[in-house]
Amino acid sequence: MSRNASLGRRLMIGAGVFITAALVVAAVLIAFVLHRFVQGQIDQRLDAQILFLSSMLHADGDGRLRLAGSADGPPFDRRRHGWYWEIAGPKNVLRSRSLDAADLSYPDINGRPPPPPPPPRMEDDAPPRDHPAPADGLGPYGRGLHFRILNVSTPAGPATIVASSPREAVMGPLWEAMRTLALSLGVLGVALIGAMLIQVRLGLRPLERLRHAVAEVRSGLRDKVPEAQPSEVQPLADELNALLIQNAANLERARKHVSNLAHGLKTPLATLAISLQKHPTGSNDLHDLVTLMERRIRHHLGRARSAALGGPLRARTAVASRVDDLALVLDKVNADKEIAFVNRIPPELAVACEPQDIDEMLGNVLENAFVWCRSKVGVSSVEEGRSIVLIVEDDGPGLSPEQMSLAMQAGQRLDERSPGFGFGLSITSELTELYAGSLTLDRSELGGLRVSLRLPSSG
């Protein structure tokens, strides 16, 4: 079995093989015991017949053996049915009528060529036995027989009394019993395998639950797997939780580094930008350079921050409240403008993105909408399968198709007077791609720009 085969299948195959083997061994043992029992019954019957024959045996004047009466009671009265007897004396042979005058050839229990016609036996060779011996062989009419053979001494000399039963007399009842037995064992086997399947199911359920919990962690529904686990699974759950904590700490540390880097680079850049304004000559060119540096820094810091979150864990962020928070900022900043802002996102709608990234994506897009709108900004959402499309639209002048394609290129700022326009869109577009989503621009029914962010749905 390969190392990564299913645990359940391993357990089932193992238990299945064991149960089958145990049932087969049981069947064989029971068959053996039954065989012996039936055989014992038959032997007793044959031995009784031999004793009966031997008790009726006597010799006539010629030294020939004779029986004192009829010994052909049932079942020795049915012709050619395998229930035979034969007495081989020194001078003559007596046979049951059922033999129909045929010779009963039987294996010789003393290793001599079989009689009949039996030569007179040597006395030393055939010591009389007091207990019949068993033998198996083929009878006169092609029937398999079971023999009981007893050497006796008679007034006429040593004789051999043989009684036989057909092999079916043993095998018939045995097969009969075995059929019932096999059926019972089969039912037992099915019941055992059913019980084993249930046990494997139940036994592996904590693993299935753990897998479910990990999936929920991945989709952001919970931040760690449940701590109360069966003792066999507990260490795994503990290790998983430790890993999750470590992962979160690494992410936080990476974020902080990037944040510090941003601070470290931008503060001197801000100083430089302001110093440059004191020197009118050539300050425009130099300021352009500062702007370019700012964009490069923003671009690469964005990338670095994104890379820091490129781990396996995905968050779950409710969108509506983040939009409200961002609108609070933008409403205050654009306090001079009467802006009717409508947030139509259902409160429970969540996307599988980090909250900071949702803030960054929606913040940039909403900032543009608030700056460019005349009086209306709307946010809504559409669920499309496993994706959620967040739509931000305004009633501003909108963008021409050329401006739209320009706006998506990193570092393009369509209007220098308004902060971040265009550049924010390209940053947002990069972030959506990080989540395997997309950003599209078109015209809103309100008249202005409509920005659609396609993001993975959570759960």
Partner 1 sequence: MKILLVEDDRRLAQEIAHALREENFAVDIAANGEDGQHLGETESYDAAVLDLGLPKIPGVEVLRGWRKQERHLPVLILTARDGWTDKVDGFKAGADDYLTKPFRIEELVMRLRALVRRASGYGAPRLSCGPLSFETQTGVFELDGLPLKLTALEWRVLECLILRKDTVVERSLLSEKVYEGDVGTDSNSLEVIVARLRRKIGKALIETERGRGYKLSSGSR
In the complex, the smallest distance separating the C-beta of residue 8 from partner 1, rounded to whole angstroms, is 45
By beta-carbon proximity to partner 1, the closer residue of 158 and 302 is: 302
Tally of residues, the chain: 459
Among 329, 404, 410, 414, binds partner 1 (CB under 8 A): 329
Cα separations in angstroms, 73 against 70, 168, 448 = 8, 20, 117
Sites for partner 1 among residues 391-420 (CB under 8 A): 419
Binding of residue 270 to partner 1 (CB under 8 A)? yes
- Per CB under 8 A, 251 contacts partner 1: no
On the 0-12 / 13-18 / 19+ scale of CB atoms within 10 A, 319 is buried
Does 360 participate in binding partner 1 (rule CB under 8 A)? yes
Minimum CB distance to partner 1 smaller for 115 or for 422: 422
Told to check if 273 binds partner 1 by CB under 8 A, we report: yes
Considering only 21, 198, 333, 436, the residue that binds partner 1 (CB under 8 A) is: 333
Q: Are strands 340-343 and 376-384 parallel, antiparallel or unpaired?
A: parallel
Inter-residue long-range contacts of 214-221, CB under 8 Å, 24+ positions, other chains counted: 214/240, 217/244, 217/313, 218/312, 218/313, 218/314, 219/314, 219/316, 219/352, 219/458, 219/459, 220/314, 220/315, 220/316, 220/317, 220/350, 220/352, 220/458, 220/459, 221/316, 221/458, 221/459
Closest contact distance (angstroms) between CB of 264 and partner 1 is 8
Q: Any idea what DSSP says for residue 120?
A: P
Give yes or no for residue 266 binding partner 1 (CB under 8 A).
yes
350 contributes a contact to partner 1 by CB under 8 A: no
CA distances (Å), origin 371, targets 145, 333, 409, 442, 443: 110, 10, 20, 18, 17
Task: Decide: 196 and 16 in contact? Cβ < 8 Å.
Answer: yes
Nearer to partner 1, 30 or 276 (CB): 276
- Beta carbons within 8 Å of 325's beta carbon, 6+ residues apart: 359
Per rule CB under 8 A, is residue 332 in the interface with partner 1? yes
**301 binding partner 1? (CB under 8 A):** yes
User: Of the listed pieces 37-45, 359-367, 386-394, 438-446, which binds partner 1 according to CB under 8 A?
Assistant: 359-367
Q: How far is CA 105 from the centre of its chain?
A: 63
Q: Which residues contact 238 (CB under 8 A, 6 or more apart)?
A: 227
Looking at the Cβ atoms of 145 and 326, the one nearer to partner 1 is 326
> What is the C-alpha separation between 429 and 175, in angstroms, rounded?
80
Tell me if 356 contacts partner 1 by CB under 8 A.
yes
Residue whose CB is less far from partner 1, 131 or 263: 263
Structure tokens belonging to residue 171? 């095998």
Q: Which of 87, 237, 362, 391 binds partner 1 (CB under 8 A)?
A: 362
CB 262 to partner 1: min, Å: 5
Contact between 162 and partner 1 by CB under 8 A: the answer reads no
Identify which of residues 367 and 394 has a Cβ nearer to partner 1 in the complex: 367
Site mask, partner 1, residues 426-445, x = CB under 8 A? Answer: -x------------------
Among left, alpha and beta (phi > 0; psi -120 to 50; other), residue 411 is: left
> In the set 355, 411, 447, 456, which binds partner 1 (CB under 8 A)?
355
- Binds partner 1 (CB under 8 A): choice among 271, 375, 405, 409: 271
Alpha helices in 57-166 (DSSP H): none
Nearer to partner 1, 178 or 276 (CB): 276
HSE at residue 193, side-chain half, CA atoms within 13 A, is 18
Identify the residue among 254, 269, 349, 414 touching partner 1 (CB under 8 A): 269
- In whole angstroms, the minimum distance from the beta carbon of 196 to partner 1 comes to 54
> Which of helix, strand or coil describes residue 279?
coil
Please state the closest distance from residue 14 (CB atom) to partner 1, in A: 54
State the minimum distance, in angstroms, from the CB of residue 205 to partner 1: 40
Q: Does 326 bind partner 1 (CB under 8 A)?
A: yes
Residue among 151, 146, 150 at smallest CA distance from 168: 146
- The site for partner 1 (CB under 8 A) is made up of 259, 262-263, 265-275, 277-278, 287, 290, 294, 298, 301-302, 322, 325-326, 328-329, 332-333, 335-336, 355-356, 359-360, 362-364, 419, 427
